[in-house]
Each structure stands twice: as C-alpha cells, then as structure tokens.
Amino acid sequence: MAIRKKIPLIPTDASLDITGDVSIAGSGSAVITFPSTTSTLATTSDIPTKASSAEINTGTDNDKYITPDALAGSDYEKNPMTTAGDIIYGGTSGVPTRLAKGTATQVLTMNSGATAPEWADASGGGGALQYVEYTLTSENIKSMFTTPVEIMPAPGAGKITIIYQILSKFIYGTIQYTGGNQLLFKTATLEIGKGCTGGAINGTGTEIASCGSFQLPTTISAILLKENEAILAYNKSSAFESGDGIIKLYITYKTITLW
C-alpha cells in the first residue's frame, strides 16, 4: 500500500492517524475509519480489464490488457499452416489464413471477387516467360548417365513446356570429376538443345556456360514435342565419376496451353 503523504509505510495490521486528504494506490485492501460524517472517500482505478480471446479476434480489445492465455486462445496466435509450400494471407478482419500450395507451374493471382489470393494455371497461348532454378547435386551428376534427373515437372494435361534458355553454373567442390561428357536435356520422347560442354564440369573452378540452342526443329516432321512431359537433364556418352561439385541451372521457359 502506498499513501501520497510523506509518512512512513504502514505495517500490516497497524493503524495510523492522518489528517487531510488521502489517496490510496496499490493492491491489497485497507480499512479506513473516518472521525466524522463529513469525511468522504473517493475511489478510482486506472487498471484496465482483461480482454477475452473473442475481443482480440474482433479488435474490440482497446484499453484492455491481454494475457498469454487469451492470446493463445485467439486466432492471432495460431499457425494455420499444415503443409510445406503453404502460404499465409490476411483473411476476415486480418486473421491469418492458410492458402494451400498450388500445383506445378501454377501462378498466384487474385480471385474474381478481389477478396483473397488463389492459385491458377498460367495463361495459355502466348503466356509470359517464366524462370526457375534447379541444383544438380554430385549424386545427380554421377548418376544421370543411367538415371536422367527431372529438372522441371510435367506441366499438366493439354500443356507443353518450351525451353528458351538454360545457363549452367558449375561450382567445384573438393574432388575433380572424371569421365562424363556433355550435359544434355530432353523430354521422355525428344532430345532438346545442344547441351553444355563437359570440360567445365571436369574443371576445378566455377564455370558458367550457355547450354546450347533450344530452337525447335525446322521441319514439321521433326517436331515431336508431346503434351505434359517433364524436362530431364542427363549426359549421353559415359558417366561422370568421383567428383563432388554441383551444377546450378537457370532456366527460362514458357508453358503453352494447347487446349
């Protein structure tokens, strides 16, 4: 208990005679005996009341204090995420809301009511160029002669992926690669591009190379691209051996909707 007069603190169960105006602040309780009926007692409190979880959710918790329990019981303390790749956006009254991850090559857009984001297929026909990165590990590099590595997933039924450019950045580790040859790219049915030279991959430094031309064949009979095929990386003549470097691929492409 604190008394706004220059007097000593009052011990528990003690009494003290005071004249004049007295204001009492603090916690606990006190008994004040007034000597006459003309004495008055004014009580005030600046302590706010506790906000409930519902008040936190609706934003009606102004001038109230928030406890950890109330915050934990509100929507603002909860993580709505359940799956890798999910994203959070502000839902009703700004409450964190989960948007499940989209599928391969989908883009993030706004719904027709302009109220929330959603995933949608990239526009067909002359859609915009897109960009993606992929890292080939040393395990990928040493095994891709017999097991090509999927660097881009199949785009979906009725669609094809057109590659415009791939830049390759080889990053040397501690052991130099032996064997191997060109880094090439293909779908399940067609070899595309002219590949990256194998010398860079067999080197002992950081090398950047443009991986050939990805123009379509000039004759109609040679155009064998099929819908919904993944893009694969491989090497053609022999396996890379030993070695522990990696290759970063920087891919510019377009997804075309056929129907």
Domain assignment present for residue 252? The answer is yes
Domain assignment present for residue 246? The answer is yes
For 105-127, what is each residue's pLDDT tens digit?
Answer: 788 888 888 888 988 876 544 45
Pairing of strands 231-235, 183-186: antiparallel
Q: Which domain holds residue 209?
A: 130-257
CB 141 within 8 A of CB 182: no
Nearest alpha carbon to residue 203 among 233, 166, 175, 238 = 175
- The fraction of the chain above a pLDDT of 70, given in percent, is 68
Domain assignment present for residue 56? The answer is no
Domain assignment present for residue 176? The answer is yes
Domain assignment present for residue 209? The answer is yes
- The fraction of the chain above a pLDDT of 90, given in percent, is 14
DSSP state of 126: S
Average pLDDT over residues 154-177: 88
What are the backbone dihedrals phi and psi of residue 222, each rounded to the nearest 5 degrees, phi first?
-90, -10
Angstrom distance (rounded) from CA 248 to CA 170: 6
For 180-233, what is each residue's pLDDT tens digit?
Answer: 878 888 888 888 876 665 456 777 778 777 776 565 544 443 445 678 899 999
For 16-64, what is each residue's pLDDT tens digit?
Answer: 565 665 555 555 555 555 555 555 554 545 567 888 878 877 777 677 7
Triad 233, 84, 139: Cα angle to 5°: 30
For 60-84, what is each residue's pLDDT tens digit?
Answer: 767 777 777 777 777 666 677 788 8
Domain assignment present for residue 159? The answer is yes
* H or E element, residue 200: helix 198-201
Domain assignment present for residue 177? The answer is yes
* CATH code of 139's domain: 2.60.120
Identify the three-state secondary structure at position 76: helix
CA 98, 134, 184, 223 torsion: positive or negative? positive
In the chain, how many domains are there?
1
> Distance of alpha carbon 222 from its chain centroid, rounded?
42
CB 156 within 8 A of CB 121: yes
| This prediction's pTM | 0.51
CA atoms within 13 Å, Cβ hemisphere of 64: 16
Domain assignment present for residue 251? The answer is yes
**Confidence category of residue 138, pLDDT binned at 50, 70, 90:** very high
Q: Maximum CA pair distance of the chain? A: 114
